[in-house]
Structure 1
């Protein structure tokens, strides 16, 4: 009975919070009209937007921002200079160091049984080839009986280029099949793909290795290179991550070319390819967070934090992960400095480094700045694509429906009408940088965006580029962030940090606990 009553109370809280937010939003047009700062924010964002210019300079000019690369350092320096040009104090805060590396030219050709240039790129931190490249016969993983049999087979890889990903049975994404295929054909394709995926998983398992450890074993056995194809379930997209080899090149190849090579090898035609992968291993690089501040006038030691990770993988240019979040926060800060130059609380923006390797930049900031975190009114984080904000959770803070709902109600209806809220919600344990602050007990909120096929087409892929940005949606987000920061700064009350009592995990039967603080990796990729 007690558990039932708790469930009823929680349900009433959720319903009540939604009603409150709805009631607040009914009067928001009037609130906006009465507040000249909000009206000016909307006008500035719509009539003098700098988003396109910022995106071009960052994404086209500097490019991807892999931690440990010169491009990452260029981006940090560019952001500091940009903030200073707007009259905003900015700095790069060092928090660690990372394996130094710089991408070079990747060129891959099939040279037997015919000549054809192939679509492929080296994985991050891949070793380079010699100036003339490496040429070798392409072979695939065998379907052995067990790990003992695989060890007996391993000497066969010497001098060979090894394919270690499953060849896809179709290069068409599911939505394309669903549009054109018969029901029977679609079901047949999915059934065959599931069976093939299961069989490949079993084939990999029988080697005694996994996707992380197998490349190293092949390298030790004398393989000339390792080839993967990490298809992202869309036309022309692969996910590009890091290499697990230390001496021989690791490349990722487009589904179409990978499948062709696999079939040629399978049919006994002994295809050969030539790989030229020019990259440079450099000395360890310092890692930074770029921090900018508009100092508060009445409560300078209390903070409103705007948050977005600055680093990216480097298959594309990191446009929607997280170039969009980056330029939203920069544009919001530019607008606030111009129209709200003397905030009550300090407004701080953090552009975090090495989020992709485990939220390292934001975790380092939380660890190194406990006084700031203790006095943080709110954190607004964005990190998932180009779409307008569509979801906000209260992250398990019991009274988040009160203060966050109040701040949201000040924004124009056209900005907030499509936003779904979940109060009080549950604390985020990972996924993006808000989780670093949530673990420390600071009210931190993920401004989750509409998908725009983010998971398939741009998240960590070779197609995460400028042309995928939907600037109307990004502009809407900049307006929202600027208004939220303004409202949080002006609020006479300090946000209540009381947490909900987390329920029992039905899978384990144990009481859920608040996410724990985790230490950042301060020396990454170093031997």
Structure 2
């Protein structure tokens, strides 16, 4: 819990600094000089040892800021909705894994920082300007900052303009002194959080369930209005609409209607994933990959989720489940005048429908107008009431209530899709049966891109032959200083599967790659922990 925070520049002149502590940063108070770490290799660490205690440490470079000539908020237009509506099916290990390059260097830097104990480590976000500050979780050399009894260096993210101002002064050799007063406390000593579950009982099909929900936890820099007070309030309004409909019509739901407000979504879908693990699937020791489905799994007709800000609903992400398209098309028809008509086979990730989708339960997130969600409010200090649209949220509640009711009243449960693995294997078998099939030698240099909602990740992959297997080196523009080295990967019928871990926002995320190679191109799927599966495309650069 954040109890108090302030930061000021004291020398060479006074000014108040726009900054926010990172999640799980401990209390700290002090005044000290600023030191910028210019580290390009582990050999550069020595010059800073014994010199950082009682100092503020900068670990980012200057980020250039351009005038925002284009509006930060937007709605879907005809072109963007048409692109989604015409999208095709989403493309859905013996190994040793080594960490190389930037990962080892980052670990060494944070190990040194934890030994040196500066007042605080300061950075700036990769986006945001004009006082908008996007803040993530604190980092550590190993493990996670939120782990029990973990030693964490205080950390704060500054507005890019103030970070740049301080950085430029240090580069000119000026002595810059800052002061900070941070008071925080850990308020969850038993490590438990709680989901909120409510039900409207069904009748003749009461053992079957229609679920709808949103996460109720939020990031700490704002009030969590758009992420995800918006989704939670909509789902509570859905429940009110359903109860009022039952009261006024006297018609009871056939299936049980279950509202879920999830906790721990921001830490990795903890609330929904553990709920699914408790009732619908056995995840085994991994906690992620389902080993066996539980009997209750078959009783869930659908799960509907809302978690992309305040924008009104424009349609539904089908998660590759083409069998529900004609059903949802009929259900959307009455809402044409409200702007909700688009059905896309695309997946979308990063929220609580994924654990359901991952165990075969039809799980859906609605397409929403972007508004200023990713550009201004998502995990930023601007995530406040002022950026909510009441009209849009009312529209969303109306449409979702209709979907939940229709799902409850139909004779059959919603059809389920084939697993991503089944879909990929069917495509591979079709390719193998083709007369044009030809075994490919993947050795060489490739570029790739991963389509993730709100962003595109690009990178390079170098593949070297190692006996009858291959060694891979991956780089990404998301973390340009890091390399992933995966050794001893097999290719079977032009298909290559491998996995590794990647660090993002202070978390280690399990990455699984499932790729198909042709002579000049790659296509396949990347699964990022519980955040979802995303299409991968690429091309050969050289042999």
TM-score w.r.t. structure 2 length? 0.65
2:223 corresponds to which of 311, 314, 317 = 317
Aligned to 1:479, which of 384, 398, 401?
A: 398
Report deviation, 1:207. 9.7
Tell me the residue number matched to 2:289.
Answer: none
| Structure-2 change in CA distance of 1:456 and 1:515 (3 Å) | closer
Tell me which residue corresponds to 1:408: 332
2:26 maps to which residue? 127
Q: Does 1:383 align with 2:307?
A: yes
2-structure distance, mates of 1:373, 1:247: 40
| Superposition deviation, residue 478 in structure 1 | 0.5
Q: Could you tell me which of 386, 408, 423 is aligned with 1:489? A: 408
Take 2:243 and 2:69, find their aligned partners in 1: how far apart are those partners? 46
Question: What is the aligned partner in structure 1 of residue 383 from structure 2?
Answer: 464
Q: Report matched runs for 1:360-375 at 5 Å.
A: 360-370=270-280, 371-375=295-299
Alpha-carbon distance change, 284 to 103 in structure 1, aligned in 2, over 3 angstroms = farther
Separation (CA, whole Å) in 1 of partners of 2:108 and 2:263: 26
Following the alignment from structure 1 to structure 2, what is the Cα–Cα distance between the partners of residues 386 and 358? 22
- Is it true that 1:393 corresponds to 2:312 in the alignment? no
Aligned match of 2:45: 150
- Does 459-468 or 284-293 show the bigger shift? 284-293
Conserved? CA contact 1:387–1:451, under 8 Å: yes
Question: Equivalent residue for 1:253?
Answer: 158
State the shift of 1:357 in Å.
1.6
Query: What is the aligned counterpart of 1:348 among 225, 249, 258?
Result: 258
1:64-463 equivalences under 5 Å are 102-129=1-28, 133-144=29-40, 146-170=41-65, 172-173=67-68, 175=70, 208-210=104-106, 214-244=109-139, 246-282=151-187, 283-340=189-246, 342-370=252-280, 371-409=295-333, 411-415=334-338, 417-422=339-344, 425=345, 430-463=349-382
Determine the C-alpha separation between the residues in 2 that align with 1:404 and 1:418: 11
Name the CA distance, whole Å, in 1 between partners of 2:322 and 2:153: 53
**By percentage of residues, which structure has more strand?**
2
Cα distance in structure 2, aligned partners of 1:466 and 1:377? 34
Structure 2 equivalent of residue 509 of structure 1? 516
Gaps of 5+ in 1: 1-101, 178-204, 520-527
Over residues 498-517 of structure 1, what are the superposed CA-to-partner deviations in whole Å (9 max), with x where a residue is unaligned? 42734458982179689799
d(CA) in 2 for partners of 1:380 and 1:335? Answer: 16
Q: Which runs of 5+ in 2 are unaligned?
A: 73-100, 141-150, 281-294, 429-494, 497-513, 518-522, 532-543
Contact 2:354 2:530 in 1 (8 A): no
Matches within 5 A, 1:14-53: none
CA-CA distance at 1:354 after TM superposition: 1.0
| 1:463 CA displacement | 0.6
Output the CA distance in 2 between the equivalents of 1:215 and 1:172. 34
Mapped to 1, the partners of 2:515 and 2:336 lie a distance apart of 42
**3-state DSSP class of the match of 1:127?**
coil
In the TM superposition, what is the alpha-carbon distance from 1:290 to its structure 2 partner? 0.7
Structure with more helix by fraction: 1
Q: Deviations over 1:161-187 (max 9, x none)?
A: 10112222226346389xxxxxxxxxx
Aligned Cα root-mean-square deviation (Å): 2.9
Residues 6 and 181, structure 2, Cα contact 8 Å, conserved in 1: yes
Aligned-pair CA distance for 1:374: 2.0
8 Å Cα contact 2:129-2:161 kept in structure 1: no
